[in-house]
Each structure stands twice: as structure tokens, then as C-alpha cells.
Amino acid sequence: MTSTAPAHCPDLGTALAAWFTATARPLPWRSPDRTAWGVLVSEVMSQQTPVARVAPIWLDWMDRWPTPQAFAQAPTAEVLRAWGSLGYPRRALRLQECARVIVDQYGGEVPADEQALLALPGIGTYTAAAVMAFAFGRRSVVVDTNVRRVLARTVGGEALPSPSLTAAEMSRAAALVPADDASAALWAASSMELGAVVCTARAPRCDDCPVTALCAWRAAGYPADPHAARRRSQAWAGTDRQVRGKVMGALRAAHGPVPSAVIDLVWPDATQLSRCIAGLVEDGLIAQTGEAYHLPVEVG
């Protein structure tokens, strides 16, 4: 990290707020009638998943299960089918566990307290902070991949942040959050939006950036990524993730149990397939009855 953030940066915040107010994407979980539950669901769904894929599934999800109570009672197989291709579906089961705790401990209302949110199943530091900001309009330190990149460039003068989140980054991010709730929530939304649509990782649109005149990376002449040698992106083809996805896809498409002989055809490497199936069973994502596999039949 090449520079230290000031305790506040009003010019940066003001420019981002004006830009966001004028250009923010009309995401469904940003609508005036959004609920805290809807925001929480959107944040869980959006983990490592593009917003364009999340939006239609979120709309269907909220139509089916508009409250934690409704979702807590949903059949597990239906939940996994609705989750579709949003990434490893263990998140869907954790979200249902979360809904049940909200019903049991908070009367079906998402708690407006960051520590209480952190205690919910599957809710980490980022998600708790995001729900506080985007659902309740409260001050919190919202730091995702997009925010990290924006702050690394505009304040740190670096092409990209370090591969892993550091304490220094969190300290810098906290120092930049405005003191009042409304401004802090707007800062969280606008800094995240900038990273998502303008200050992107591979092709930043610097000519369209509302804070280009304030950007330390631009002022330094766009130095190269100092962490490039440490970054590795795992290919999708041939990975266990791909195999698990194929197994889950076959079971979601079926209207009943699928014979193991059919599942054996989804992947040519029998050893890898067996390992992935065992992992899915252990995670509670699929079940075996006799010589067939199926989605769990548990009802909430």
C-alpha cells in the first residue's frame, strides 16, 4: 500500500455521491419498497456471481418467499432448484438456516444490529455490513472486491489491492466512511457501484470515471499491479466445481430420483465423479436412496 488515507475524503465522497445518484443501475433490491430480507438475500446470492445472473433469480425467489417465515418453511429440494446456477448451492442451505434463526430468535424480522447479523448462519463481515448500509441505511464499513479495488486505485495509487484483505485496508476503508448514517450508506453504495461498472479489474473505463481527477493511480501514471505474480485464477473446465455443478444440474432437472447409472454418465472420470458425489452428500445437497440420487426431501 503506497499511501495512507486521510481521516475523510469529502471531495471523493461528494463526486461519487453525485455520480451514483444520477447513474445507479436500477437493481431490483434497490427499489424503494425493498425489504431487509430482500437485501440480505441479494447479498448472499451475489457472492462471486454477476448481478445480471442474480437479478432474475432474486425476483423469482422473492415472489416465492418474500419473508424469512416463508423461506424457512420451503422444501429443501425446491430451494435448491430455485438456486439454479448461482454458484455452490451450500449457500442456499445456509440462507435457509439463517431464515429459521431469524424466525425463531427475531420474530421473523431481520435484525438491524451488525453483531446480531454476524451471529446468523452464513453471514460474514461483508454481508452484515452491507445489510446495515443497504437495508437499514446505517453507517458501516462495507468492503467487497469492488470497494477494495476502488480504494487501492483512488487512494492507494495501486492497480489492484493485495490478493488477500489486510488489516491496513480495513483501517483505510473505515477512515473514509462518512460519520453520519445517510452519507455513509451512500458512500458504500457508490464506491461499490464504481468498482462494478467503471473501475473494473481488467478494463477500467478511466475516461468515464467521475473521480479521475482525484485518482492516485492515475496521478502516478497507472503503475502495474505489484501483486501480479501472486494472482492465480483457477480454470473452470475439469475442476470439481464443474463436476458438482453437472451433478446438481442433472438432479435439479429431474422430477424424481435419478439412477446412479445415469449420474455416472455426467462425467468421464469415475474417481473424480465419486469424490464430488460424496462431497455433495456430505454437504446435504443431494441424497441417495438405493441405487438412485435425488435432491433432499426435507421440508422446513
Grid cell of 188 as nine digits: 458504500
- Does 114 qualify as catalytic in the annotation? no
What's CA 5's distance to the chain center, in Å? 26
The one catalytic residue in 43, 114, 169, 193 is 43
Rounded distance between C-alpha atoms, residue 169 and residue 252, angstroms:
41
Burial status of residue 21 (CB atoms within 10 A of its CB: 0-12, 13-18, 19 or more): exposed
The contacts of residue 162 (CB under 8 Å, 6+ apart) are 1, 169, 227
Sheet holding 292-294, edge to edge: 258-259, 292-294, 287-289
Angle between helix 181-197 and helix 10-23 axes, rounded to 10 deg? 70
Residue 213 neighbours by CB under 8 Å, 6+ apart: none
User: Catalytic positions, please?
Assistant: 43
